[in-house]
Amino acid sequence: MSDTPNRYDHMAGNQYAKKYDRPANDSLSLRCNDNDKYKWKLEAERSGKSLNEWVIERLNFSINRVT
């Protein structure tokens, strides 16, 4: 391994996170209002998914509809 610190070293990760075919190698940060985030979290829970998994699924679904 490299001696150079990774900018994500401070993140412990989630042992229950879904393992995808390809490892995650980047992150996305966004600003939203608390009401929208609350509704997204509820919908993710109803779907049996984490908020992260639900958002990725919705974003990928939206680009698949266009292409």
Residue 42 resides in a domain: yes
pLDDT per position as a tens digit, 3-45: 666 655 554 555 455 555 678 889 999 999 999 999 999 999 9
Residue 10 resides in a domain: no
pLDDT band for position 57 (cuts 50, 70, 90): very high
Query: For 39-55, what is the mean pLDDT?
Result: 96
44: nearest Cα among 33, 54, 35, 29: 54
Q: What is the pLDDT of residue 13?
A: 52
Cβ atoms within 10 Å, residue 50: 16
Residue 29 resides in a domain: no
Q: Residue 51 is part of which domain span?
A: 34-66
Number of structural domains, the chain? 1
d(CA 58, CA 56): 6
Question: Tokens representing 53?
Answer: 């998994």
- What does residue 56 show for φ and ψ, rounded to 5 degrees? -60, -45
